[in-house]
Amino acid sequence: MPRQILIDPVTRIEGHSKITIDLDDAGSVQSAAFHVTQFRGFEKFCEGRPFSEMPALTGRTCGICPVSHLIASAKACDALLALEIPPVSAKLRRIMNLAQIVQSHALSFFHLSSPDLLFGMDGDPATRNIIGVAQNHPSLAKDGIALRKFGQQIIELLGGRRIHPSWVVPGGVNVPLTREQREGMLAMIPSAMDIATRTLSWFKGVLGNFKEEVDVFGNFPSMFLGLISRGPDGEALLEHYDGKLRFMDAAGNIVADDIDSADYPKYIAEAVEESSYLKSPYYRSAGYPAGIYRVGPLARLNIIDRCGTPIADAELEEYRATCGRYVLSSFQQHYARLIEIVYGIERIEQLLNEPDILDANVHAIAKPSRFEGIGVSEAPRGILMHHYKIDENGLITWVNMIIATGHNNLAMNESVKQVAKHYVRGDSLREGVLNRVEAVIRSYDPCLSCSTHAIGHMPLHIQLRDPAGGVLDEIRR
């Protein structure tokens, strides 16, 4: 008799969701899906607003990664204004974006995922949390807070506040960097780098304990999408602010390359499933759902030739020696995330030392010159797209936002299915099984606040149901 396992809601991710696992007559997993059950509708209620409000409005999509929305939105507005922002503004925006990525990755790794890595997937749920980390590994917990604080402080120094800074505006930024701010940020670099490299060393030491998870945590062929920039020899470099889109397949073949961000609709289509408010973007020419692709740290490291900073490049080389040139396991998002933290710190230091970084000319002014604008940047969880249309009065008539978690929707479904197939047997649930199903979702660090915007603190409720909806097994915590 076919049955269904329901995990509702998933914990330690941002927003509300549930997981359903359908069993066949033999009690084996037939299919699985990750459902997002909350709706917010930013794309609709922004209609009618002046386009210049969009960075501030869409930044409110999320309290965790507002900077990412601020930057993608400002870039879309730059496109509406048909202007080129002052070069130093692009560098300053880039610094803020990297600081956001560092602090977000730190939250994901240290506070959400490290309990699984430290105590094991079968660890006692009473201690498999950040307090357990603090009790048993206080230095690691302290490092996590310090690294997050590093990113937050840079955002605050640049934007005036940690959450929802209004410093990034259409046309650039509204205040130049001061010498004191620059020195303050540079002074924080060494300790942040110490933490990042120390954590990477620790992670590489424990990675061998998770061979089974590496094998079955979203380890499947898919395409990968991200931004790249070009190095001096034309090589593809790690890029988070600007650059071109690249699609790569699982074998490393370039599927589409050097795509202007404004052309994304030619390559990406969106499907909607009845069971979720989270859209399912796919590679248009491959069709749905065959056009599955992944974004985020794993994808970004797969599609590039090198990072472009010395320490991160050395780590990337070791990562590829350990995991392969094209890494398919989503478990390795943790590893990729740590390398990106290293890169972010290095790149921030490079940018702060650029000779023009204190230039006062940080804002270009223009009137709207286009009725349509697209802004794309890399958020911590993957590529982020803001697409606006305005009328002759500059009022928003249409909005499309494709969020990193949305790009990864099909891949998360596939990952849940793979984990469930491997671990779920019969009609009862064990804590370790539950956590592995959740953990594979967490490896993507999904932000459902961004993708649908739900706010709340989630309990955990899992149900195992028969085809008639009867509960066969249930776990709450």
Partner 1 sequence: MKTRCLVIGYGNPLRGDDGFGWAVADRLSEEFAGDESVRVLAAHQLTPEFAEPMSEAEQVILVDVSRDGEPGTWRVTEVVPAAEGPALGHQFEACGLLAAAREIYSACPPTLLVSAVAESFDCQETLTSCIEAIVPDVVRDIRNRIDAAKPDYSHA
- Positions touching partner 1 (CB under 8 A) are 11-14, 45, 60, 63-64, 107, 110-112, 115, 125-132, 134-135, 138, 141-142, 144-145, 148-149, 152, 163, 435, 455, 457-460, 477
| Residue 443, phi then psi, degrees to nearest 5 | -60, -25
Burial track 176-189 (b if 16+ CB lie within 10 A, e otherwise):
bbeeebbeebeebb
The least CB distance from residue 164 to partner 1, in Å, is 8
The least CB distance from residue 146 to partner 1, in Å, is 8
The least CB distance from residue 89 to partner 1, in Å, is 27
The least CB distance from residue 142 to partner 1, in Å, is 5
Q: Which residues contact 104 (CB under 8 A, 6 or more apart)?
A: 64, 65, 151, 380, 381, 445
Following DSSP, what letter does each residue of 255-317 receive, concatenated?
EEEEE-GGGHHHHEEEE--TT-SS-EEEEGGG-TTTT-EE-SHHHHHHH-SB-SSHHHHHHHH
66 vs 218, beta carbon nearer partner 1: 66
48 vs 324, beta carbon nearer partner 1: 48
The least CB distance from residue 269 to partner 1, in Å, is 30
List Cα–Cα distances, 362 to 54, 177, 374, 388, 462, in angstroms. Answer: 20, 9, 21, 24, 52
163 vs 472, beta carbon nearer partner 1: 163
List Cα–Cα distances, 448 to 56, 197, 230, 284, 342, in angstroms. Answer: 19, 30, 32, 24, 26
The least CB distance from residue 23 to partner 1, in Å, is 24
146 vs 358, beta carbon nearer partner 1: 146
332 vs 449, beta carbon nearer partner 1: 449
3-class secondary structure, 107: helix
**Owner of token pair 């940080």:** 362
130 vs 269, beta carbon nearer partner 1: 130
